[in-house]
A and B are shown apart, each in its own frame.
Chain A
């Protein structure tokens, strides 16, 4: 006698896709025949259980709920990004990244590698990120000729005047190397937006 049906084969049996020789086994095996009957009865019972039809008013109300939730999620998403307590640290971090990128760009492969180290310290308790040369304890070389843009200077002046003591700490940034270079690398619109953002943050009452 051939082996009894596996669970997969019982499902194939009720689907009508079981191979003929395996179906023949069911006809000869009492146990498999009983199981097949059970499976068919359970399937018939399951098929009989329709989902109750909701009120006709439910469907348009469901669309309205989805619409409202989508609109809310869109608004919430943008609001979340526009919250200053989210944006300010991001802007501070972005400025640091720009500063690092600018400092790296300022060191051309052909130029002598500046000695010393620049340290950017982000947040409290976070170990400083170091980009150190082999020779330490010498002043960091001035970047190659990257003229300070007047707008950048103006922005820096505005920021500096607006910054209370420890203001960069409040932004999670304790030291910004070559910030002027970073500012000069921004577009005019980016500088305006960043200056407005940071000044707003400075003017925000402390909670």
Chain B
């Protein structure tokens, strides 16, 4: 995978990698190079994982600008903490953990404890009745709003398990809990989604 050519050059003096160089390096090698100060290697890691990190963050906050900020914060924290990454887990799992923590911190700062979905905010007011002829885009918006309204732990478990296809054990490692707790959180998240999307589901 090649970093976007339009990206600004690394300001710290690193030389961009060629396509062949990038392709030859796995995440572990890139992390090792980044720890040694190779910022171009870190740029490749950002490019490889930015979409999945952005999607995790977006599902937490349901807002592009906030998700972009959280994604940036995730990678900056990762850069600062690279020295503590010992390769016990995959880099993707490690970066997810940072993204979840960053997002949970944001959620705990911004979200009231009882977050209720206001479907009036996401549904088209021109529609005659709830559930009637809701187009696909509106339906997706309502579901994302409902996911955002879930309690943070349920949200984290549902997002990682459902959208990023991580195993229960990986989710447990990321969230810092047990497999049983992850499954319970996923179940309650789905039960709450069902209630909140009653007109839709």
Q: Which residues does A use to contact B, with CB under 8 Å? A: 7-8, 10-12, 38-39, 41-52, 54, 57-60, 62-71, 73-74
Contacts and interface: CB of A to CB of B under 8 A. Distances in A.
Contacts of B46: 62-63, 66
A80 to B, nearest CB: 13
DSSP class of B's interface residues: helix, strand, loop or mixed? helix
Task: Report the interface size class on chain B.
Answer: 35 or more
A63 B59 contact: no
Contacts of A46: 143, 147, 158, 162-163, 190, 193
A73 B80 contact: yes
B36 interface: no
A127 B183 CA distance: 54
B25 interface: no
Interface string B139-167: 11101100100000000001000110000
Nearest to A58: B68
B106 interface: no
Given A38-B194, A51-B55, A62-B50, A67 B11 contact: yes
Contacts of A42: 190-191, 193-194, 197, 201
Contact of A63 (B43, B79, B163): B43
A71 B12 contact: yes
Interface string B168-201: 1000000000001001101110110110010011
Among the interface residues A12, A49, A57, which one has the most CB atoms of the partner chain B within 10 A?
A49
A63 B193 CA distance: 34
A1 B50 CA distance: 50
Given A48-B143, A49-B143, A63 B47 contact: yes
Given A7-B183, A59-B4, A54 B147 contact: no
B197 A43 contact: no
**Most chain B C-beta atoms within 10 Å of own C-beta, residue among A12, A47, A69:** A69
B78 to A, nearest CB: 9
B48 to A, nearest CB: 11
A113 to B, nearest CB: 44
- Those 8 A-B pairs whose CB atoms lie nearest each other, nearest first: A49-B143, A7-B187, A60-B4, A63-B7, A42-B194, A42-B190, A64-B8, A60-B6
A66 B4 CA distance: 13
B93 interface: no
A41 B194 contact: yes
A46 B184 CA distance: 17
B172 to A, nearest CB: 12
